[in-house]
């Protein structure tokens, strides 16, 4: 029997909720706030997407106010997870770069989750993996599109 759209949507929602719980548990177990862990992830992702994030970009990604973002950045700098650097293109602003410590901590914290999820792919053939990847990519794009419509005041 084929899964319905609703069943797939509910399963995806459960995955999101369980992942959020896991991140909160990881953060708490290591004396961090979940937002700090999310910030490290965003900064690392920003670095792989073509350059370091600015505090303003981090604020938008995490949907935090400027003061809340400053507090997160200050905690991460204080814990040697992030460094501030003057922006080469605009000396009035700074960019954020994850340290080797943050990369190592992030890798150690998320490696078990990555292995667990990767293990669910065992036994799937290339075509099945391609379908999963396409579904996830399309779902991410749909969420980003809906989010952009909300930001722009569109009704979708």
Give the tens place of pLDDT for each residue, 83-118: 999 877 777 889 999 999 988 888 888 889 899 999
Question: What stretches of 59-111 adopt beta strand conformation (E)?
Answer: 82-86, 94-98
Q: What stretch of H or E contains 72? A: helix 66-78
* pLDDT at position 89: 74
Q: What's the alpha-carbon Rg for the chain, to the nearest Å?
A: 18
CA distance 73 to 55: 8
| pTM: predicted TM-score of the whole model, two decimal places | 0.75
Cα 128-38-14 angle, rounded to 5 deg? 45
CA distance 144 to 153: 14
Give the tens place of pLDDT for each residue, 126-150: 999 999 999 999 999 999 899 889 8
CATH for the stretch 5-120: 1.10.10.10
SS (H, E, C) 26-62: HHHHCCCCHHHHHHHHHHHHHHHCCCCECHHHHHHHH
């Amino acid at each position: 029997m084929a899964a319905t759209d609703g069943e797939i949507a509910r399963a995806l929602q459960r995955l999101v909720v369980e992942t959020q719980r896991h991140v909160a548990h990881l953060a708490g177990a290591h004396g961090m706030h979940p937002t700090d862990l999310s910030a490290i992830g965003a900064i690392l992702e920003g670095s792989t997407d073509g350059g370091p994030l600015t505090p303003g970009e981090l604020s938008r990604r995490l949907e935090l106010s400027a003061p809340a973002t400053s507090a997160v950045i200050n905690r991460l700098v204080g814990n040697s997870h992030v460094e501030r650097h003057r922006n080469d293109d605009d000396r009035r602003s700074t960019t954020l770069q994850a340290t080797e410590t943050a990369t190592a901590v992030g890798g150690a914290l998320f490696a078990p989750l990555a292995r667990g999820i990767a293990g669910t792919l065992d036994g799937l053939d290339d075509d099945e993996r391609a379908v999963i990847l396409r579904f996830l990519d399309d779902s991410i794009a749909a969420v980003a599109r809906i989010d952009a419509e909300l930001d722009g005041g569109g009704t979708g």
